[in-house]
Structure 1
Amino acid sequence: MKASELFFRIRRDLEDLSEYTSRIEEERLIRAGDPPGALAYLGDYNYTTLVEIRNRDGISPDFEIDSAIVDEFQHELDRYLDTYAPGAVDLKRYVLNISLYLTFIAKKPLHPPEVPFSEDILIVKKGKFFYCSGKRRFIGDVPSLCRYCVCRPQ
């Protein structure tokens, strides 16, 4: 599949979630004065990605993405979200689309760089590459998205 095909599918699906993303925007304003935590950083990273998707016109130059790997990724992310956010349908669609974009189009990490996500995970950028301190440890977990992440083990 072409990256542009995936991109426009992601953007359409996020547009269909406009009521949900409006709630996210409202919640961000409400918690703006709160001390930041790992989940707030992740939420802000995902929201910034949403804004990037909205503002992007397309993919240039266009490139090929292996649709079988995209399908595997979606299946693993479904399993992950069914474990950690069961029944949260809109959240699942939102995270799926943001994650597809980050992984296959923007080629960015799934967690925000330079922010300690937990005691085990810190992503840093050195030169043009991202490195994750948790990748070696978590790559074998089921469900795990580490094998799809652009980060290299640190």
Structure 2
Amino acid sequence: MNLELSPSVKYWSQFFHPIMMWALLLISVYAAYLGLQVQRTRNAQGEQKKELIKGRYNVRHYQIGSILLAFMVAGSIGGMAVTYINNGKLFVGPHLLAGLGMTTIIAFSAALSPYMQKGANWARVTHILLNFTLLGLFTWQAITGMQIVQKILTNA
């Protein structure tokens, strides 16, 4: 049984990871917005707080965060798998190492959820710091990823 992929499938499979990651970057910005609204709601008083609560920012932030966790981990593994299938090796460099770091950061950030739900302020502060670090790394990853896509297109 031959498990070799056709050249066409191998070529086009290289673009799924960058497209998915760009979508996740945009969703990450939205998650950051929701997180900031959660913080705003927490700090609000009176009528303003009642209005902000109606936005259900905490629920939406948690749901979007869960989606990001799942798809970022799957996208990271998928990107490495496609690279390995197409090249017989992984290219160990800043893009791969930062991507692995991002996957670790989002796992730790999500793991803080139970502590935040119990009101631990240290967990909230850590969660925010981790996620803004993640967002910065993610932006840099998008730029370096486009350089890799350009190399793929040039070598086609």
- Structure number with the higher helix fraction is 2
Higher alpha-carbon Rg: 2
- Structure number with the higher strand fraction is 1
Larger relative contact order, structure 1 or 2 (CA cutoff 8 Å, min sep 6): 2
The TM-score with structure 2 as length reference comes to 0.27
